Amino acid sequence: MSWPRSQLFEIGDLSWCPSWLHQHEQFTLTKLWTLKFPPWGRESLATKACEVFKEHMQDLSSYTVLDICAGSGGPTPVLEFELNRELEAQGEKPVQFILTDINPHIEAWQQLCKKQKNISYIVTPVDARAVPRLGNKKECRIFNICFHHFSDEDAAGILKSAVESADSFIIFEATSRDVATCLSTILMFFFTFVVTLCWFWHSPVHLLFTYILPLSPLTLWIDGLISCLRTRTSQEISDLLDQPGLDLSKWTFHSGTKIVSWPVVSLRYYAGVKSG
Ligand SMILES: C[S@@+](CC[C@H](N)C(=O)[O-])C[C@H]1O[C@@H](n2cnc3c(N)ncnc32)[C@H](O)[C@@H]1O
């Protein structure tokens, strides 16, 4: 069952959202990408994202991957590790990944780049609605669980820019407008308790706003639920590409769903690839 999309807004996007809460939310989302529920599901959202790359992106080593709205990194560390491990085994050059965000998460990105030499980042804010073309290699723009943040007008502009300036793009969403996924967002509430315990046990602010006043778990849950209500179907993304004067003649589009843990955790994707 689905219903019309609502634009709404998320707490993490509001200008008055405290920076510690924004960072806690982004960090929790990054951990969510690698979460596995064995034996219910032996793979993570991130490993499913790797599958999408392998299925639809030929000649991967000729690309630079630009992570738009990267947050704390999302699936990019896993993508870099898995995809480059395979490329290197085949004697191919590794793919470079570049993290960008309107609120650059410099501290988190520095940690990542120290460990993974094929990941770098742009220090200054990069607005997804005005992404500059970078370098001479082919460019793949990835939008990890963020495309739903944009109004139809902005989303259409983002797609237009990807078609006109880049060589491929992939939109990944872990939410969708159906009852099972909306109900599953309650898992974010409990997952935040685990994240605080494992990674923020030394921070009085995080402990207070997780275990005494559960502001962080509630924010993650509410934003997850709102993300569901904002997420577009593949058809709605296709419709946004239908713009006067936008030449799609060299482009092929693929979309689908990868089940991570049935029936509540799935990865939906919409990929566009330019030939030649
Ligand atoms: C839901 S998070 C996704 C984070 C990350 N991609 C992941 O998968 O965990 C959304 C991110 O989009 C960023 N964002 C929101 N509006 C943006 C814009 N106009 N341009 C670039 N980034 C934006 C926020 O700062 C936040 O880091």
Residue-wise pLDDT tens digits, 245-270: 999 999 999 999 999 988 889 999 99
List the CATH number of the domain containing 120. Answer: 3.40.50.150
Candidate from 37-46, 175-184, 199-208 with smallest mean pLDDT = 37-46
Structure tokens at 121: 């980042």
**Burial of residue 135 (number of CB atoms within 10 Å: 0-12, 13-18, 19+):** exposed
Both 209 and 244 in one domain: the answer is no
In a shared domain, residues 242 and 167: yes
125 and 218 assigned to the same domain: no
Ligand 1: which residue has its CA nearest to atom 12? 69
Residue 129 Cβ inside 6 Å of ligand 1? The answer reads yes
**Residue 100 near ligand 1, beta carbon < 6 Å:** no
Cβ of 26 closer than 6 Å to ligand 1, yes or no, is yes
Per residue in 71-120, pLDDT (tens digit) is 999 999 999 999 999 999 999 999 999 999 999 999 999 999 999 999 99
Total number of domains in the chain = 2
pLDDT at position 38: 79
Give helix 19-33 / helix 215-230 axis angle, nearest 10°.
Answer: 60
Structure tokens at 274: 């330019």
**Is the domain of 119 the same as that of 68?**
yes
The set of residues, in sequence order, having a beta carbon less than 8 Å from that of 155 and lying 6+ positions away, is 147, 232, 237, 240
What confidence tier does 1 reach under pLDDT thresholds 50, 70, 90? low
> Confidence band (pLDDT; 50, 70, 90) for 164?
very high
Are residues 122 and 21 part of one domain? Answer: no
Q: With a 6 A CB cut-off, is 224 part of the ligand 1 pocket?
A: no
CB of 150 closer than 8 Å to CB of 131: no
Residues 237 and 225 reside in one and the same domain: no
211 plus 238 within the same structural domain: no
Task: Read off the amino acid at residue 12.
Answer: G
Judge if 171 and 252 occupy the same domain: yes
Domain finish residue from 215, 230, 245: 230
Please indicate, yes or no, whether residues 81 and 24 belong to a single structural domain of this protein.
Answer: no
> With a 6 A CB cut-off, is 108 part of the ligand 1 pocket?
no
Neighbours of 2 (CB within 10 A): 9
Would the CB of 14 count as within 6 Å of ligand 1? no
Residue 129 CA, closest ligand 1 atom number: 19
**Residues in contact with 208: Cβ distance below 8 Å, sequence separation at least 6, in sequence order:** none
Q: How far is the CA of 161 from the centre of ligand 1 (A)?
A: 17
At 98 the three-state DSSP class reads strand
Expressed as residue numbers, the domain containing 202 is 1-34+180-230
Examine the domain organization and report whether 201 and 269 are in the same domain.
Answer: no
Whether residues 60 and 156 fall in one domain:
yes
Residues 49 and 121 in one domain: yes
**At 200, is the pLDDT very low, low, confident or very high (cuts 50, 70, 90)?**
very high
- pLDDT-derived band at 42, boundaries 50, 70, 90: confident
